[in-house]
Amino acid sequence: MAPPHQLLLLPLLLLAAAAAAAAAHARTRPPSTTDVPPRAPTPWPEQFHAVMFTNLTESGGRLQLIDLYYDWPRGRNLNLIRDQLSGDPTYDVEWTNGTSFIFDSATCRIIRFPVGLLPPDWLAGATYLGRELVDGFDCHLWTKVDFVWYYEEVATGRPVRWNFFNGMQQHVMSFEVGGVLEDSEWQAPAHCFNGNNAAATSVAGDRVDSKGGRVDVMNSLIRFAEAPAVSASF
Ligand SMILES: *[C@@H]1O[C@H](CO)[C@@H](O)[C@H](O)[C@H]1NC(C)=O
Ligand SMILES: *[C@@H]1O[C@H](CO)[C@@H](O)[C@H](O)[C@H]1NC(C)=O
Protein backbone atom coordinates (compact mmCIF):
# COMPACT_ATOMS: atom_id res chain seq x y z
CA MET A 1 0.00 0.00 0.00
CA ALA A 2 1.24 3.51 -0.83
CA PRO A 3 2.52 5.59 2.11
CA PRO A 4 0.07 8.34 3.20
CA HIS A 5 2.10 11.29 1.84
CA GLN A 6 1.84 9.84 -1.69
CA LEU A 7 -1.96 9.50 -1.35
CA LEU A 8 -2.09 13.17 -0.37
CA LEU A 9 -0.07 14.11 -3.47
CA LEU A 10 -2.46 12.41 -5.88
CA PRO A 11 -5.27 15.05 -5.80
CA LEU A 12 -2.65 17.77 -6.23
CA LEU A 13 -1.25 16.02 -9.30
CA LEU A 14 -4.75 15.70 -10.76
CA LEU A 15 -5.37 19.39 -10.13
CA ALA A 16 -2.09 20.28 -11.82
CA ALA A 17 -2.96 18.09 -14.82
CA ALA A 18 -6.39 19.71 -15.11
CA ALA A 19 -4.83 23.18 -14.94
CA ALA A 20 -2.32 22.23 -17.64
CA ALA A 21 -5.13 20.88 -19.85
CA ALA A 22 -7.13 24.09 -19.33
CA ALA A 23 -4.08 26.17 -20.23
CA ALA A 24 -3.50 24.10 -23.38
CA HIS A 25 -7.17 24.54 -24.30
CA ALA A 26 -6.91 28.28 -23.77
CA ARG A 27 -3.86 28.35 -26.06
CA THR A 28 -5.64 26.59 -28.91
CA ARG A 29 -8.86 28.58 -28.44
CA PRO A 30 -8.08 32.26 -27.92
CA PRO A 31 -11.18 34.18 -26.81
CA SER A 32 -13.92 36.04 -28.69
CA THR A 33 -12.45 38.67 -31.06
CA THR A 34 -10.51 36.13 -33.16
CA ASP A 35 -13.67 34.01 -33.48
CA VAL A 36 -15.03 36.48 -36.07
CA PRO A 37 -14.84 34.54 -39.35
CA PRO A 38 -12.03 35.87 -41.54
CA ARG A 39 -13.23 37.06 -44.93
CA ALA A 40 -10.92 35.02 -47.15
CA PRO A 41 -7.78 32.94 -46.90
CA THR A 42 -4.46 34.76 -47.02
CA PRO A 43 -3.50 35.09 -50.72
CA TRP A 44 -0.48 33.04 -51.75
CA PRO A 45 2.83 34.90 -51.89
CA GLU A 46 3.89 35.43 -55.51
CA GLN A 47 6.85 33.14 -54.99
CA PHE A 48 7.26 30.34 -52.48
CA HIS A 49 8.85 26.97 -51.91
CA ALA A 50 6.86 24.43 -49.95
CA VAL A 51 7.60 20.84 -49.03
CA MET A 52 4.39 18.85 -49.30
CA PHE A 53 3.77 15.46 -47.74
CA THR A 54 1.28 14.07 -50.23
CA ASN A 55 -1.11 11.20 -49.60
CA LEU A 56 -2.69 9.73 -52.72
CA THR A 57 -3.97 6.51 -51.17
CA GLU A 58 -7.59 7.65 -51.57
CA SER A 59 -7.04 8.32 -55.26
CA GLY A 60 -5.32 5.07 -56.15
CA GLY A 61 -1.76 6.20 -55.51
CA ARG A 62 0.76 6.08 -52.68
CA LEU A 63 2.76 8.59 -50.65
CA GLN A 64 4.95 11.30 -52.15
CA LEU A 65 7.26 14.00 -50.91
CA ILE A 66 6.94 17.02 -53.19
CA ASP A 67 9.00 20.17 -53.44
CA LEU A 68 6.59 22.75 -54.78
CA TYR A 69 7.99 25.92 -56.32
CA TYR A 70 5.29 28.45 -57.15
CA ASP A 71 6.63 31.33 -59.24
CA TRP A 72 3.80 33.59 -60.43
CA PRO A 73 5.91 36.52 -61.77
CA ARG A 74 7.81 34.14 -64.06
CA GLY A 75 4.64 32.26 -65.01
CA ARG A 76 5.68 28.84 -63.81
CA ASN A 77 5.02 26.20 -61.18
CA LEU A 78 7.11 23.13 -60.48
CA ASN A 79 6.49 19.91 -58.57
CA LEU A 80 9.62 17.86 -57.83
CA ILE A 81 8.01 14.58 -56.90
CA ARG A 82 9.66 11.77 -54.94
CA ASP A 83 7.62 8.61 -54.71
CA GLN A 84 8.16 6.50 -51.62
CA LEU A 85 11.18 4.16 -52.00
CA SER A 86 11.82 5.34 -55.54
CA GLY A 87 15.19 6.73 -56.57
CA ASP A 88 14.31 8.62 -59.73
CA PRO A 89 12.31 11.78 -59.00
CA THR A 90 9.67 13.05 -61.40
CA TYR A 91 9.57 16.70 -62.45
CA ASP A 92 6.31 18.37 -63.33
CA VAL A 93 7.10 21.75 -64.85
CA GLU A 94 3.98 23.79 -65.55
CA TRP A 95 4.06 26.94 -67.67
CA THR A 96 1.40 29.62 -67.70
CA ASN A 97 0.96 29.19 -71.47
CA GLY A 98 -0.65 25.79 -70.71
CA THR A 99 2.28 23.49 -71.47
CA SER A 100 3.37 21.01 -68.79
CA PHE A 101 6.52 18.89 -69.05
CA ILE A 102 6.42 15.77 -66.90
CA PHE A 103 9.70 13.92 -66.97
CA ASP A 104 12.17 11.73 -65.14
CA SER A 105 15.69 10.74 -66.15
CA ALA A 106 14.49 8.53 -69.02
CA THR A 107 11.00 9.52 -70.12
CA CYS A 108 8.99 12.64 -70.84
CA ARG A 109 5.40 13.56 -71.40
CA ILE A 110 4.23 16.92 -72.67
CA ILE A 111 0.68 17.90 -71.83
CA ARG A 112 -1.01 20.96 -73.25
CA PHE A 113 -3.72 22.39 -71.02
CA PRO A 114 -6.10 25.08 -72.19
CA VAL A 115 -5.54 26.95 -68.92
CA GLY A 116 -2.74 28.72 -67.11
CA LEU A 117 -1.62 28.67 -63.48
CA LEU A 118 -3.53 29.35 -60.29
CA PRO A 119 -3.30 33.08 -59.50
CA PRO A 120 -2.14 34.05 -55.96
CA ASP A 121 -5.69 35.03 -55.00
CA TRP A 122 -7.26 31.83 -56.33
CA LEU A 123 -9.03 31.25 -53.01
CA ALA A 124 -10.98 34.52 -53.17
CA GLY A 125 -14.66 33.82 -52.71
CA ALA A 126 -14.11 30.54 -50.87
CA THR A 127 -16.74 29.50 -48.32
CA TYR A 128 -15.68 29.66 -44.67
CA LEU A 129 -16.43 26.46 -42.77
CA GLY A 130 -15.09 27.34 -39.31
CA ARG A 131 -12.17 26.37 -37.14
CA GLU A 132 -10.61 22.94 -36.93
CA LEU A 133 -7.60 21.35 -35.32
CA VAL A 134 -5.75 19.72 -38.22
CA ASP A 135 -2.33 18.05 -38.16
CA GLY A 136 -2.09 19.49 -34.63
CA PHE A 137 -2.57 23.13 -35.78
CA ASP A 138 -5.46 25.43 -34.93
CA CYS A 139 -6.79 26.29 -38.41
CA HIS A 140 -9.43 28.19 -40.33
CA LEU A 141 -11.06 25.97 -42.94
CA TRP A 142 -12.46 27.06 -46.30
CA THR A 143 -13.83 25.20 -49.27
CA LYS A 144 -14.04 26.29 -52.86
CA VAL A 145 -17.09 24.73 -54.54
CA ASP A 146 -16.26 21.35 -53.01
CA PHE A 147 -13.05 21.11 -55.07
CA VAL A 148 -10.63 21.91 -52.31
CA TRP A 149 -10.64 22.09 -48.52
CA TYR A 150 -8.00 24.57 -47.43
CA TYR A 151 -6.62 24.77 -43.88
CA GLU A 152 -4.77 27.90 -42.78
CA GLU A 153 -3.16 28.36 -39.38
CA VAL A 154 -5.08 30.93 -37.30
CA ALA A 155 -1.98 32.38 -35.64
CA THR A 156 0.23 32.83 -38.73
CA GLY A 157 -1.94 32.65 -41.86
CA ARG A 158 0.31 29.90 -43.23
CA PRO A 159 -1.31 27.05 -45.15
CA VAL A 160 -1.20 23.80 -43.18
CA ARG A 161 -3.04 21.38 -45.41
CA TRP A 162 -5.24 21.11 -48.46
CA ASN A 163 -7.45 18.23 -49.55
CA PHE A 164 -8.69 17.93 -53.11
CA PHE A 165 -11.84 16.56 -54.74
CA ASN A 166 -9.80 13.68 -56.20
CA GLY A 167 -8.86 12.39 -52.73
CA MET A 168 -5.35 13.85 -52.69
CA GLN A 169 -4.32 15.17 -49.27
CA GLN A 170 -1.34 17.51 -49.03
CA HIS A 171 0.27 18.44 -45.73
CA VAL A 172 2.55 21.50 -45.76
CA MET A 173 5.80 20.48 -44.07
CA SER A 174 7.59 23.77 -44.74
CA PHE A 175 6.56 27.03 -46.35
CA GLU A 176 9.32 29.39 -47.43
CA VAL A 177 7.98 32.72 -48.71
CA GLY A 178 10.14 33.99 -51.59
CA GLY A 179 11.79 30.60 -52.10
CA VAL A 180 12.81 30.23 -55.76
CA LEU A 181 14.47 27.57 -57.87
CA GLU A 182 17.28 28.42 -60.27
CA ASP A 183 16.41 28.72 -63.97
CA SER A 184 18.36 25.66 -65.11
CA GLU A 185 16.14 23.40 -62.99
CA TRP A 186 13.07 24.44 -64.99
CA GLN A 187 14.51 23.42 -68.33
CA ALA A 188 12.93 20.28 -69.78
CA PRO A 189 15.67 17.79 -70.77
CA ALA A 190 16.67 16.93 -74.34
CA HIS A 191 14.69 13.68 -74.29
CA CYS A 192 11.48 15.75 -74.14
CA PHE A 193 12.27 17.05 -77.61
CA ASN A 194 13.30 13.97 -79.59
CA GLY A 195 10.20 12.36 -81.01
CA ASN A 196 11.01 8.85 -79.77
CA ASN A 197 10.66 9.27 -76.02
CA ALA A 198 8.37 12.22 -75.77
CA ALA A 199 4.63 11.64 -75.76
CA ALA A 200 2.47 14.71 -76.26
CA THR A 201 -1.11 14.95 -75.10
CA SER A 202 -3.67 17.69 -75.35
CA VAL A 203 -6.22 17.77 -72.60
CA ALA A 204 -9.68 17.18 -74.04
CA GLY A 205 -11.97 19.91 -75.24
CA ASP A 206 -14.49 19.64 -72.40
CA ARG A 207 -11.95 21.39 -70.23
CA VAL A 208 -11.49 24.23 -72.68
CA ASP A 209 -14.70 25.91 -71.60
CA SER A 210 -13.73 29.27 -70.16
CA LYS A 211 -16.73 31.54 -69.95
CA GLY A 212 -15.28 33.66 -67.17
CA GLY A 213 -12.56 34.07 -64.58
CA ARG A 214 -14.16 31.65 -62.13
CA VAL A 215 -14.19 28.84 -64.67
CA ASP A 216 -10.55 29.50 -65.47
CA VAL A 217 -9.58 29.31 -61.81
CA MET A 218 -11.45 26.01 -61.46
CA ASN A 219 -9.74 24.57 -64.53
CA SER A 220 -6.38 25.79 -63.27
CA LEU A 221 -7.19 24.14 -59.97
CA ILE A 222 -7.88 20.86 -61.76
CA ARG A 223 -4.55 21.19 -63.55
CA PHE A 224 -2.80 21.90 -60.23
CA ALA A 225 -4.53 19.07 -58.36
CA GLU A 226 -4.03 16.39 -60.98
CA ALA A 227 -0.29 16.79 -61.49
CA PRO A 228 0.86 14.48 -58.66
CA ALA A 229 -1.60 11.77 -59.73
CA VAL A 230 -0.52 12.09 -63.38
CA SER A 231 3.09 11.65 -62.33
CA ALA A 232 2.12 8.63 -60.19
CA SER A 233 0.61 6.89 -63.25
CA PHE A 234 3.63 7.94 -65.26
C1 LIG B 1 -3.38 8.49 -46.07
O2 LIG B 1 -4.75 8.70 -46.23
C3 LIG B 1 -5.54 7.58 -45.81
C4 LIG B 1 -6.97 7.89 -46.18
O5 LIG B 1 -7.41 9.08 -45.60
C6 LIG B 1 -5.34 7.35 -44.34
O7 LIG B 1 -6.10 6.25 -43.91
C8 LIG B 1 -3.86 7.11 -44.06
O9 LIG B 1 -3.66 7.03 -42.69
C10 LIG B 1 -3.01 8.24 -44.63
N11 LIG B 1 -1.59 7.89 -44.51
C12 LIG B 1 -0.68 8.72 -44.02
C13 LIG B 1 0.70 8.19 -43.93
O14 LIG B 1 -0.95 9.86 -43.68
C1 LIG C 1 5.28 27.47 -73.19
O2 LIG C 1 6.46 27.95 -72.57
C3 LIG C 1 7.49 26.99 -72.43
C4 LIG C 1 8.63 27.63 -71.65
O5 LIG C 1 9.05 28.81 -72.26
C6 LIG C 1 7.92 26.46 -73.78
O7 LIG C 1 8.91 25.46 -73.66
C8 LIG C 1 6.70 25.88 -74.50
O9 LIG C 1 7.04 25.45 -75.78
C10 LIG C 1 5.58 26.91 -74.56
N11 LIG C 1 4.39 26.30 -75.13
C12 LIG C 1 3.73 26.81 -76.15
C13 LIG C 1 2.52 26.07 -76.59
O14 LIG C 1 4.09 27.83 -76.71
Measured CA to CA, the distance from residue 93 to residue 68 in angstroms comes to 10
Which of 29 and 72 is assigned the larger pLDDT? 72
Task: List the one residue out of 70, 72, 68 whose CA is nearest residue 54.
Answer: 68
For the cut 80, the answer to whether the pLDDT of residue 218 exceeds it is: yes
Task: List the one residue out of 34, 66, 81 whose CA is nearest residue 234.
Answer: 81
For the cut 70, the answer to whether the pLDDT of residue 7 exceeds it is: no
For the cut 70, the answer to whether the pLDDT of residue 162 exceeds it is: yes
- 55 C-beta closer than 6 A to ligand 1: yes
For the cut 70, the answer to whether the pLDDT of residue 20 exceeds it is: no
Report how far ligand 2's centroid is from the alpha carbon of 218 (Å).
Answer: 22
Ligand 1 pocket, mutate which of 57, 62, 164, 173 (most atoms under 8 A from CB): 57
How high is the pLDDT of residue 94? 97
Mean pLDDT of 144-160: 95
Measured CA to CA, the distance from residue 164 to residue 55 in angstroms comes to 11
How high is the pLDDT of residue 215? 61
Q: Please give the helix or strand (H or E) that residue 137 lies within, else none.
A: strand 137-144
State the average pLDDT for the chain: 83
Q: Is 113 exposed, middle or buried (0-12, 13-18, 19+ CB in 10 A)?
A: buried
What pLDDT digit, counting tens, does each position of 170-188 carry?
A: 999 999 999 999 999 999 9
Q: Which ligand is nearest to the CA of 186?
A: 2
Ligand 1 pocket, mutate which of 55, 168, 173 (most atoms under 8 A from CB): 55
Q: Cβ contacts of residue 199 below 8 Å, gap of 6+?
A: 108, 109, 110
How high is the pLDDT of residue 36? 67
What percent of the chain is helix, strand and coil (3-state, nearest 5)? Answer: 25, 35, 40
Mean pLDDT of 132-140: 98
